[in-house]
Amino acid sequence: MANRTVPQNYDGVANGDIPIQRLAELESHMRRLVEDPNEPIDAELFFHIELQLTDSNVFTLLENLLPSLRLILDTTNQDPTPLLSLATRLMAPLSLSHCLNIVDWDSIVVALKSPVPGAVLLALGIVQKATRDIEDIRLLSNHPEVLDEILQVWLANPDVGASSQANNVLDELLTADCPNLPENAPPVNGHFLGIAHEMPKSRFYGDGVIWRYMFQQRRGLSIISALCKPEIPTRVTGYAQSRLLRILPRLVHLNYRAVCEIPFPDLLTMPEPLRARVGTGLLQWAALNMVDMTDVILPYILTGFFEAFVSIMRISNRVHEKDELVRTFMKAATEQYAWLEQTLRTLPDRTIEEEAEPLSIYINQLLN
């Protein structure tokens, strides 16, 4: 075996194993930043240290680096991205309870409101840890102010990275918190139910506390409805509508009653004949009454929603009540949107070969 070349200028040891290059230099630099907030941040040095971190060596570094990072972040007027990135990496292997010994819930709310994407991502990374344990999900549900801000980031933050991460956090929270998680299903068009990761094969069953906050309580639902259909639409409205439509098919798969049976009709305004026919739910409201069809982009996103929806419903857990709801909903949709039936009937031609025939049969059952 060839000898491994190891740089000779290591000057810090994190865990008694492989030393971390330039660690002492970083510690000295951070001391200067604490003493003088105007000291220029050496972004390259922070990045160099971050690249060397592993789950096994960060624990030794936490005690030395995190206190200084917090002091610098509280005082600096410079771009904090290098510091936030290092802090995120340092806290990655920690549990939620361990993180809450370092930062409190109020600090997480402040970070979620920050215009700096790195601060938002750090806060989301901490909240995401709640998905590992049902007790942590219950703890998080006691802080609806945090969930409020996650909804704001998901639907309204202009930074795509922050919004996408908020979407992922909500997806994982709702999956872990689902009282009756459906069985795994095969891929749809090469994606597992439209997301990048598979649902865990063995897991605890949730209490539904996050589901109730988002869909069965006025607080969470009012944020969604206000951002997705305000009295005066803004550029943020388009973001919010497209982001909601993209996640809805998966939510219906996970827990259709929570998404399709909403107890606050005043928050989801619909024409009464339509409401009487399809019911009051976030699904029905978003797909049949939310989107401005004169918009340039949103009708295309709505088309993608319906294609994803029927593809996922075909392989989702089938029960009579749910099948009837989907059939009634799709009948109303094809009557409202003249283009939809033809779009769906040609969908099997645009899907993978092994999915085409069963998808075509399912679509014919829905539309006939």
8 A C-beta contact, residue 222 and residue 148: no
Mean pLDDT value of segment 40-55: 95
User: Which pLDDT score, from 0 to 100, does residue 18 have?
Assistant: 76
User: What does the buried/exposed string (b/e) look like for 313-346 if buried means 16 or more CB atoms within 10 Å of the residue's CB?
Assistant: bbbbeeeeebeebbeebbebbbeebeebbeebee
Measure the CA–CA gap between 177 and 211, rounded to whole angstroms.
7
Region 289-299 average pLDDT: 91
d(CA 222, CA 149): 13
User: Using CB atoms within 10 A of its CB, is residue 160 exposed (0-12), middle (13-18) or buried (19+)?
Assistant: exposed
- Mean pLDDT check: name the lowest of 8-17, 26-35, 41-50: 8-17
How does residue 41 score in pLDDT terms, banded at 50, 70 and 90? Answer: very high
pLDDT at 4 over 50: no
DSSP letters spanning 114-130: -SSHHHHHHHHHHHHGG
What pLDDT shows up at residue 17? Answer: 60
What is the tens place of the pLDDT at every residue in 163-214?
999 999 999 999 999 988 775 443 333 343 333 334 444 356 789 999 999 9
CA 35 to chain centre: 38
Per-residue pLDDT, 8: 36
Average pLDDT of every residue of the chain: 89
Residue 61, helix vs strand vs coil: helix
Res. 254 pLDDT band, cuts 50 70 90: very high
The yes-or-no verdict on residue 239 having pLDDT over 50 is yes
**Amino acid identity for residue 165 in this structure:** Q
DSSP states along 104-164: -HHHHHHHHT-SSHHHHHHHHHHHHGGGG-HHHHHHHHT-HHHHHHHHHHHHH-S-HHHHH
pLDDT, residue 234, reads: 87
Q: Which of 228, 236, 234, 366 has the alpha carbon at shortest distance from 306?
A: 366
Q: Tell me the two tokens of residue 340.
A: 């939809």
Mean pLDDT of 87-108: 93
The C-alpha atoms of residue 343 and residue 339 are separated, in whole angstroms, by 6
Low-confidence winner among 13-27, 192-206, 265-279 (lowest mean pLDDT): 192-206
Largest separation between any pair of C-alpha atoms in the chain: 77
Which of 186-195, 224-233, 264-273 has the weakest average pLDDT? 186-195
What pLDDT was estimated at residue 240?
96
Name, in order, each residue with C-beta under 8 angstroms of 84's C-beta and a sequence gap of 6 or more.
Answer: 73, 116, 118, 119, 121, 122
Q: What is the three-class DSSP state of 366?
A: helix
Mean pLDDT of 26-44: 96
pLDDT in tens, 297-349: 999 999 999 999 999 999 998 899 999 999 999 999 999 999 999 999 999 99
Whole-number percent of the chain with pLDDT over 90 = 77
Q: How high is the pLDDT of residue 209?
A: 97
Residue 120 has pLDDT above 90, yes or no: yes
Distance CA 244, CA 225 (A): 10
